[in-house]
A and B are shown apart, each in its own frame.
Chain A
């Protein structure tokens, strides 16, 4: 029973983090949201008896993808509205 409640809680947090990362205007926080999604997803893979996929998700999803996004944000702009404005100007 506790296990099922824990699973439902994890799923709710996963969905909340995903929605948060979609709607947030500050891109650094959005990237953190995707990182949280990867953490919980990797736990899910482990619980569903796929440790190989869990390892892949942990190494690539949590560490590498997040870092590559953060490097991109450092080189461009942290604010989503600013990027959209610049694109409109160049059009």
Chain B
């Protein structure tokens, strides 16, 4: 009886999936011609973004400017995930004494290599999120790269500790300034997260108005959150 129910449920789900996908013409050119007279959303983005926002990387302009509220939601999701994880797994200072991050000591090769690689990786991450409006990448990618650098330090050196207090401050300030930029758009008489400052010259570092500012803030927030998640995960006591 249970199996029959499951099969009926699966057939129903399958029917509606096929019903949805059968109308989509796969393999056709759905963007159409990219010109100013094009009425589709993609055509509008690709033909107007560079003139209006002066951002060379159109994807950044879409993610941060046109779909800025979605990005705020994404950042909130990551914040909630990290908060949930921390509330379950975080250890206080007194309990931390007998917790060892690693079972094995790292080799000399690893220690020397990571010492050279760590500043390079962090610098690359910061480069990626500062140049989010000029080259591929942005806040999320750059933040993840920075977190990877910190992860290498955390698993190599036992003495390397992150300052949770400072990290919480950076995270809160970054999140608040993202929302603050949004509300500033409202206060200056436009919509939420409106790109309301001077856009500058195409392809220069300071261009695109508020877009690079928002991406730098997002990058800092993502980097700090992911580093915190990894730090908490590495401090769990392994079961013997």
Contact = CB atoms under 8 A, between A and B. Distances in A.
Interface of A: 51-52, 54-56, 59-60, 63-64, 67-68, 71, 74-76
Contacts of A59: 141, 144-145, 148
A68 B236 CA distance: 12
Contact of A64 (B57, B136, B144, B238): B144
Contacts, number: 44
Interface in B114-142: 128, 136-138, 140-141
B226 A56 contact: no
Contacts of B230: 64, 67-68
Classify the secondary structure of A's interface with B.
helix
5 contacts: A51-B137, A56-B144, A59-B141, A64-B151, A74-B238
Interface string B142-185: 00110110010000000000000000000000000000000000
Contacts of B138: 52
A56 B63 CA distance: 14
Interface in B210-240: 226, 230, 233-234, 236-239
B233 A52 contact: no
B153 to A, nearest CB: 13
A52 B59 contact: yes
Contacts of A67: 151, 230
Given A51-B136, A52-B136, A74-B103, 20 more contacts: A52-B57, A52-B59, A52-B138, A56-B140, A59-B141, A59-B148, A60-B144, A63-B144, A63-B148, A63-B151, A64-B144, A64-B151, A67-B151, A67-B230, A71-B233, A71-B234, A71-B236, A75-B236, A75-B238, A75-B239
